[in-house]
Structure 1
Amino acid sequence: MKQLITAVMTSFLLFSATASAGIVMGGTRIIYQQGKREAAISVTNMDTHIPYLVQSWVENISADDKRPVPFVVTPPLFRLDPEQENVLRISYTGAALPADRESVFWLSVKNISPTQKDDTNKLQINVKSKFKVFWRPKGLTGEAKDAWRQITFTRHGNQLVAQNPTPYHVSFYTLSMGGTAIPEPGMIAPLATKTWGITGSGPVTWRAINDSGGITDTAQQ
């Protein structure tokens, strides 16, 4: 493996140019249905002149979680020439995961561009992006597309409390109370609660991000 990485990097360092367009991913999230052999996402180099070295791996959603990740990415490291596309394939290794709810992980993708001609002995790290990978077991109750509507909210003092009764993750796009937006509302896990500090009052409105990365309509409670 070390010889392969060395060979790829040596070939990659033969090129030098100025970075411009860069790497574009074929989605913002990956849904891995249990029973499927793999999940995939495309990677495209939109630049017309610059090759990139692309490295990818799956990691736990929490940096404090040191358990082995039950997924591997193929290819883990490759060179992507200008205006070319490749596909990252994520495979499940079979380690135990909860069967009654989704699990979520990060797909990390790092793209590395060549340095300038006067500094060809170094690599320049351009971008490390993260994309959510949702492991969706068979036989979950309800439909993922409806989960965002089933979130309920209560107020306890200066806190807004959301409850997710579904086995699916819900990623908020917007969340507000009494017309005041809650910054970066984040995601609520399956069968869990989530709280935010608030100062105002009034109806709660929210929108979520669906499986395709699109935005739902607005719901209000």
Structure 2
Amino acid sequence: MLLFAGQLAWGSVVLNNTRIIYPGQAHESSVQLNNQDASPSVVQVWVDSGDENSTPEQAVAPFAVMPAVFRIEAKAGQTVRLVFDGSPLPQDRESVYYFNLLQIPSINQAFSGQNQMLVMLRNRLKLFYRPSTIAGRVEQAPCQLGFSVQRQGRGWRLSADNRSGYFLTLSGGQLISNGKAHAFKAEMLTPFSRASWPLPELTQPRAPLSVRFRHINDYGGVNEVESAAVLAE
């Protein structure tokens, strides 16, 4: 048997959502996993603080997952418990961690006497710890982004100020100036932070300016948002 470990990929054991929201007031929360394959798998789960090369033995995070290792039958589901250890995390903003799922498929018994290649697939999803004391509603946070365009050297940059306590994941965006769209590479904005992107094809912006962007919500869906932008001096 040939064994290949730990590549990041989507296996047949999946979660219901593409991200996990952990309510800050909860002592524990549950996560539902489903095996879409016609054969069983062994699954190992753990949480890390941002190291994508983490292992269950090395990972550091204020969450325990129970059970940490289990067998999930074909076309069946499994519920795991996420338990928060009470670490003193910020209460005015979200904290982000990562939920890891390592799937070890079963060996095909029909070829038990032959060499088989066994590939372990690892999925990694964002886990947001969300205190109930964050100001404002998460649904309103994308509309509260503040955009500005400023000169940088001979070019221009677009800046975004996240004034909320929520992580905002953008999946693409455009600055609209003089009727022309200028794409920028979006990213996840941390709470109370600023991000900026170069606009290499923008020559002379003129008001009114606007920004169209796509935001990924709690359920993995994509919302289209349009917001005004200001031309900074």
Same fold at TM > 0.5: yes
What SS does the corresponding residue of 1:124 show, helix, strand or coil? strand
Q: Does 2:130 correspond to 1:136?
A: yes
Q: Residue 115 of structure 2 corresponds to which residue in structure 1?
A: 119
The share of aligned pairs that are identical, in percent, is 27
Unaligned runs of 5+ in 1: 1-20
Partner of 1:212: 219
Any idea what the Cα deviations from partners look like across 1:70-97, whole Å, max 9, x if unmatched?
A: 0111111111110110012211011111
Q: Which runs of 5+ in 2 are unaligned?
A: 1-10, 203-208, 229-233
Q: Is the CA contact 1:145–1:211 (under 8 Å) kept in the aligned structure 2? A: no
Higher helix share: 1
1:75-114 matches, cutoff 5 A: 75-114=67-106
Q: Aligned pair 1:203/2:210, yes or no?
A: yes
Query: Using the alignment, how far apart are the partners of 1:182 and 1:55 within structure 2?
Result: 37
- In structure 2, the residue matched to 1:16 is none
User: Contact conserved, 1:53 with 1:112, CA < 8 A, in 2?
Assistant: yes
**TM-score of the pair, normalised by structure 2:** 0.76
Which has the higher Rg, Structure 1 or Structure 2?
Answer: 2
- Please give the residue correspondences for 1:14-163 in structure 2 after superposition, counting only pairs within 5 Å: 22-48=12-38, 50-61=39-50, 68-115=60-107, 117=111, 118-119=114-115, 123-125=118-120, 127-156=121-150, 157=152, 158-163=156-161
Shift of 1:44: 0.7
Normalising by structure 1, we get a TM-score of 0.80
Aligned to 2:194: 193
Q: Which residue of 1 aligns with 2:7?
A: none
Residues 42-92 of structure 1, C-alpha deviation per residue, up to 9 Å, x if partnerless?
Answer: 1111112x1111111111135599993101111111111101100122110
C-alpha contact 1:27 1:41 (8 A) present in aligned 2: no
CA distance in 2, matches of 1:23, 1:36: 26
- Higher strand residue share: 2
